[in-house]
Structures are given as structure tokens and as C-alpha cells.
Amino acid sequence: MTVDTLKIAMVDDDPAVLEATTQWLELSGLTVNAWSDPAKALLEIDDQYPGVVVSDIRMPNMDGLSFMDALHKKSPQLPVILLTGQGDIPMAVDAMRRGAWDFIEKPFDPERLEEVIRRALMTRQLQLENAALKEQTEDSLARILMGNSGSIQQLRHHIRRLACTQTHVLIRGETGAGKEVVARCIHEASTRREKPFVAINCGALAKDLIESELFGHQKGAFTGAIEKREGKLELASGGTLFLDEIESMPMDAQIKLLRVIQEQQLERVGSNTLIQVDLRIVAATKVDLLELSAKGAFREDLYYRLAIAELSIPPLRDRKEDIMLLFRHFVRQTCDVHGVELHEPDSAYVRQLLQNVWRGNVRELRNVAMRFALGLYHQDEVAQGEEGGLADLVAAYERILISQSLVRHQGNIQAVMDELKLPRRTLNQKMLRHGLRREAVCSDDGSFS
């Protein structure tokens, strides 16, 4: 969207003025919608009108002030420029107080009018771009951070507010609650979204390597440092650094990180050269860092640096109204990926989903939904809260492929062997392992029983 692609709504009951002004503006490369009746213009100018309005003040039936007030009820930020006769100056000044963008006294210099219009168009362009970005951000957040519960809606609201700032953020949440998802949402909704999002799990790094990972190192800085390497902090400069399980960071690394946050400068391991960085840190923890600080296991000053803004992710058990929404989303996702038929859980299974404590939160729910979609589930699995591994999922998918082939070929073993490119012995073994029988014919809904 550029200024030249926006429009001018020109409203004047004087046909000569309307035609002459429209012609001048169009010769200047601008697009004009012209109306002699403000009531008709009001019907066609909506709250997302891609441009500005230029209106005469003195018009029959509806004057320019009433017209502007009606427009601002639809779109409070819409720039309205008023054309006023000499005797209307006090009225125009009052209009400015009521929200008019500017007023121009008649007879006016067309170049002066064009200059004012172009400045108003620049403002309107920014308004529309910001509105579009906000709508895009809200839609994106709702798609990624799914849920209709009040707590999730509030979390999305806080993310949108934080995205407009450069402040560091501390996220608190249980295992599997979606801390990295929230961190990515903050990054994607911020002005840093074009720069890298760099994630590092502090708990997964060896203590003797964490400083090299974070700060980088020079060639020969230690045994095995055969070449110079940028650290995660350098890579995240201009973007967002996500530090998961921040409570696991060794004390020495905490001290160095605190210095980097304060000075926005770092030194690679084995170097004395200062490197300027532009860091925004989003840290995550599942424990109370202040309690750790009281025990001497975490630096209190680092906590206060990171927790300028603090977000808390509600556990899944506290937002039961989101469980089925998320479950069906993960089921559909799995069915799309693996090309399997979508089916709905029965009422008993839904009851179990809603009654489960979900100690693994959304991560556990996703695993359960995947097993349900792939047919590898039983009625008490939700209550048990088991988490299947890759082998279980692969086995479930294998069973589905064989059963669907048997259904397609009405139990014709040779046709199934040809389709799946399996020798008879292998197919027999797999059917035996999965409890599949060639006699079992399709049920009415087309599924294999």
C-alpha cells in the first residue's frame, strides 16, 4: 500500500468546484471519488475507507460538520479536511477541536490542497497498515495459541501488548504448557520478527559448553576449538533469544549473561574484543526463580532483569473448555499428515478427556490425539496419561495402511501384497501382529473391523 494507491473522497455541492478540484487532483496522479451529496457519500464510505475525505462545510441538508461527525462514528481516525469560506473560520476552528484533520479557506490554492491531502494520506496509510498488522497478529495468535478460555484470551492480550515493546520477558509454566510457543508468538508479533528467533535449552547443555554456546569462542580458546564460532547471543542480535529452563544455567554463565544484558556487549570465550549486540531475551522456567534465589541457586539481580514483564501460562486442567478444541485440532492435523480418515471420539472417551488431570499439559494432549487419530488407543489410556513413543505411532500407522488396503481389495491378499509391495510371509506376520483378519469385511462406514 502506498500513498498513490489511496483515494480521496471529494464532497462538495457546487458542481463547478467539485469538477475542477477532482480534475486537478487526478492530474496530480491521485484517485478521486466525487459526491455532490454528503448523504450518499456517507453510505459508501465505510470504516476501512482506503483514503481521506475532503468536504465543504456549507452544504444543504447536511453540513460538513454533521457529515464529519457521522464519518467519525464509523471510523474515528479517518482524516477529514474541511473547505471553508472566510466567514466559516470560527466554525472550522471548532471542527478542528472535534477531530477535523485540517481546514483550507476558499478560494484555495490547488497546490496547497494537494499538499495537505498528501500529508493526510501518509497518516491514513500508517493507520491502515497498523490496523492490518494488528488484525494479522490477532489472527495469527489465535491460530497458534489456540483456546477460547478467559485465561488464554488474556494471555494473547498480554502478548500483543508486550510485542509493541523491547522489554525482556519471563514466562512461567508447567512442563508441556507451551512456553516456547508463547515465546515465538511474542517474537512473531514484534518488530523483531524479520530477525532470527534463536532458542536454546539451558538444561540440555553440558555445563562446560554452555558459555561457548551462548557467547561463542575464538579459535584455540580451549581444546577442540578449531575455529572461531559465533554464540547464540550474537546470532540472536536484532531478534529474540529464547532461554528455556533458565533455572538450569550455571552461576558463572548467569553472571556473564547479566553483564551482557546491562551493557548490550559481549566477549567471546578466549577473546578480549567487545562485540555490540541488540538483545531481547525471553526466558522460561517451570520453577519459582525467587525461591531459587533465596537458596542461592539463582542470581536475584538476573531474575529482576529478566522479569521486567512476566507471563504465566495456565495449565490445561484449569482451562477445560479448551480441551476438545485442541484435541480436535491435533486429530485433524495428524489425519492430514498421515492421510487417514477423520473420526470423532465417543461420549465416554470425551468424558475421559475432560476428566484427565493432564500433567503433561498440551504436549500430553497432542500425543493422545495423535494416537487416537492413528487408531492406537484404548478407553482407559487417557486416564493413565501414557505417552506413546515413535515405535507405537509407526506401528499404528502400519496397521491402518494394511487394514485400509484389505478393505479396498475386499480381503484379496494378493492384491494387498501387490499394492504394499510385501511378500506373503511378511504380510501374514504383520496381520497377525496387528490382529487383522482377511475375513473381516468392511463395516457400513467403510472402516475395517
Residue that terminates a domain, selected from 374, 398, 422: 374
Examine the pLDDT at 239 and tell me if it is beyond 80: yes
**Ranges 30-39, 93-102, 167-176, 190-199: which has the least confidence:** 93-102
Examine the pLDDT at 219 and tell me if it is beyond 50: yes
Q: In what order do the strands lie in the sheet with 309-312?
A: 197-201, 240-244, 281-285, 169-172, 309-312
The predicted pLDDT at position 221 comes to 64
Residue 78 DSSP code = -
Q: Is residue 167 situated within a structural domain?
A: yes
By 3-state DSSP, what share of the chain in percent is helix, strand and coil, each rounded to 5?
50, 15, 35
Specify the CATH number for the domain of residue 333: 1.10.8.60
Give the span between the Cα atoms of 88 and 57, in whole angstroms: 8
Residues listed for the chain = 449
Closest C-alpha among 75, 131, 123, 127 to residue 102: 123
Q: Do 206 and 353 lie in a common domain?
A: no
Average pLDDT over residues 215-243: 82
pLDDT band at 73 (very low <50, low <70, confident <90, very high): very high
The predicted pLDDT at position 419 comes to 87
Average pLDDT over residues 32-40: 93
Three cell numbers, residue 295:
537458596
Q: Is residue 137 situated within a structural domain?
A: no
pLDDT band at 283 (very low <50, low <70, confident <90, very high): very high
More confident residue, 107 or 299: 299
Q: Do 367 and 222 lie in a common domain?
A: no
322-380: pLDDT as tens digits: 898 899 889 988 988 888 888 888 878 888 888 888 999 999 999 999 989 988 765 45
Q: Is residue 441 situated within a structural domain?
A: no
| H/E element, 136 | helix 110-144
Examine the pLDDT at 48 and tell me if it is beyond 80: yes
Q: List, in order, residues 6 or more apart from 186 with CB less than 8 Å away.
A: 159, 162, 163, 169, 240, 282
Q: Do 151 and 206 lie in a common domain?
A: yes
Give the span between the Cα atoms of 263 and 310, in whole angstroms: 22
Average pLDDT over residues 43-48: 90
140-165: pLDDT as tens digits: 788 888 888 889 989 999 998 998 89
Q: Do 284 and 322 lie in a common domain?
A: no
Give the span between the Cα atoms of 434 and 201, in whole angstroms: 39
Over its C-alpha atoms, the chain yields an Rg (Å, rounded) of 32
Give the span between the Cα atoms of 349 and 387, in whole angstroms: 17
Q: Do 230 and 202 lie in a common domain?
A: yes
Closest C-alpha among 29, 38, 31, 32 to residue 11: 38
More confident residue, 242 or 401: 242
More confident residue, 304 or 448: 304
Start-to-end CA distance of the chain, whole Å, equals 57
- Residue 81's CB: how many other CB atoms inside 10 A? 22
Q: Is residue 443 situated within a structural domain?
A: no
The predicted pLDDT at position 127 comes to 85
**Where does 189-281 have alpha helices with state H?**
210-215, 232-235, 251-263
Examine the pLDDT at 129 and tell me if it is beyond 80: no
Q: How many domains does the chain have?
A: 4
266-279: pLDDT as tens digits: 888 777 888 999 99
Three cell numbers, residue 233:
547471543
Q: Do 61 and 14 lie in a common domain?
A: yes
More confident residue, 440 or 109: 109
Residue that terminates a domain, selected from 107, 131, 155: 131
Beta strands (DSSP E) in 197-308 are 197-201, 240-244, 265-266, 275-276, 281-285
Specify the CATH number for the domain of residue 12: 3.40.50.2300
Q: Do 24 and 118 lie in a common domain?
A: yes
Q: Is residue 52 situated within a structural domain?
A: yes
At residue 166's C-alpha, the angle toward residues 164 and 168, to 5°, is 120
The predicted pLDDT at position 364 comes to 92
Q: Do 163 and 14 lie in a common domain?
A: no
Average pLDDT over residues 131-139: 65
Query: Which residue range forms the structural domain that includes residue 15?
Result: 3-131
Examine the pLDDT at 167 and tell me if it is beyond 90: yes
Q: Is residue 383 situated within a structural domain?
A: no
Classify 260 as helix, strand or coil. helix
More confident residue, 209 or 236: 236
The predicted pLDDT at position 448 comes to 32
Examine the pLDDT at 287 and tell me if it is beyond 90: yes
Q: Do 115 and 179 lie in a common domain?
A: no
The mean pLDDT value of the chain amounts to: 85
The predicted pLDDT at position 377 comes to 67
Q: Is residue 382 situated within a structural domain?
A: no
pLDDT band at 133 (very low <50, low <70, confident <90, very high): low
Q: Do 151 and 204 lie in a common domain?
A: yes
The predicted pLDDT at position 385 comes to 43
Q: In this prediction, what percent of the chain has a pLDDT beyond 70? A: 88
